[in-house]
Amino acid sequence: MKLSTCPLCQNDTLSALFLFQGTLVVRCGDCGLVMLNPQPDDEALATIYGDQYFIGSEQDALRDHGNALKRGTAKLQLAEISTYMDASQPLRMLEVGCGLGNFLFEAQQMGFEVQGIDVSPSAVAAANETLGTTCVRSGLLETAGFDEASFDIIVLADVIEHVRNPKAFLKHVRTSIKPGGALFVAVPSLDSLSARLMGRHWMEYKREHLFYFNRQTIQRLITDCGFENLTVTPGKKVLSLGYIIGHFEKFPVPILTPLMKAVGWVLPKSTLAAPLRVVASGINVMARAPKDK
């Protein structure tokens, strides 16, 4: 699917940066948004988002380890959310792209009234089993039938980079948030140390990542879609060496992938499994929908 203009600013000057798996990575000459062009079609993306999409999907032990790490990351993100907004009373939360439900599980434990949506039917089934209720549905937000202005907060954790039209999508998100409600976005960032060190071999360059943001472009997107009071923080995550090695095996990077495999052969399992709190490759953004005037 060929893009002729930038979906953020509509500029038609898209300059080639490099080839990634046979597809150009281009940058908008006006706003600086980076994107794949052409982008994978719907059939190709459906294949990518299959039952084996999540790291460890085919290995119970690695899947369980990954879930525990994601819940650790969720706790860090929920702490940011609680600091940003008044969570002293039960709040209604929607996570778009909720995957296996780890973030929603931690939010549920904190007293949030949770709902989720994901494009993967197998992930939805796993999330509902984890949550002990059918509060997660399969499909797209735009056609899910949620009432307007019905959520106190919407969470987009590692989602916006997957969306075909980020501005149209985020405007729809905006209509689903109550006046004065909040938005939480976690997104890989071209400003991150890993992106600057790894260049075109950055592990976040993936076929399903259609867009690549930095602090400037993600803030412009969110502001253009009607949000205000933005805060931007480093994207802290809980990872382990074993999980990182698994990531580089699933998404190979020259030199680094074989190096990480070698590390995995040498280190004991206890060291590979130890949780580590790190500043990863992304940033977190919180913003607020304007209150009614």
Give the confidence band of 59 by pLDDT, cuts at 50, 70, 90: low
CA separation, residue 78 to residues 173, 245, 268 (Å): 19, 26, 32
H helix or E strand, kind and range, residue 81: helix 60-84
Structure tokens at 49: 């988002």
How many structural domains does the chain have?
Answer: 1
pLDDT score recorded for residue 62: 66
Output the 3-class SS for 165-225.
CHHHHHHHHHHHEEEEEEEEEEEEECCCHHHHHHHHHCCCCCCCCCEEECHHHHHHHHHHC
Residue 153 counted as domain residue = yes
Q: Which amino acid is at 74?
A: A
For 157, the domain range is 82-237+282-288
Q: What is the pLDDT of residues 212-239, one digit of tens each?
A: 999 999 999 999 999 999 999 999 999 9
Residue 100 counted as domain residue = yes
- Tell me the sheet residues that pair with 92: 113
Backbone dihedral angles phi then psi of residue 182, each to the nearest 5 degrees = -120, 160
Residue 211 counted as domain residue = yes
pLDDT score recorded for residue 118: 94
CA separation, residue 27 to residues 3, 19, 65, 146 (Å): 12, 12, 37, 34
- Which is nearest to 135 in space by CA: 108, 158, 154? 108
pTM score: 0.93
Residues in the chain: 293
Minimum mean pLDDT among 32-36, 134-138, 139-143, 150-154: which range?
139-143
CATH of the domain at 219: 3.40.50.150
Residue 20 counted as domain residue = no
- Contact yes or no for 236/48 (Cβ under 8 A): no
Q: What is the pLDDT of residues 185-198, one digit of tens each?
A: 999 999 999 999 99
Residue 22 counted as domain residue = no
Residue 176 counted as domain residue = yes
pLDDT score recorded for residue 200: 94
Burial of 26 (0-12, 13-18, 19+ CB in 10 A): buried
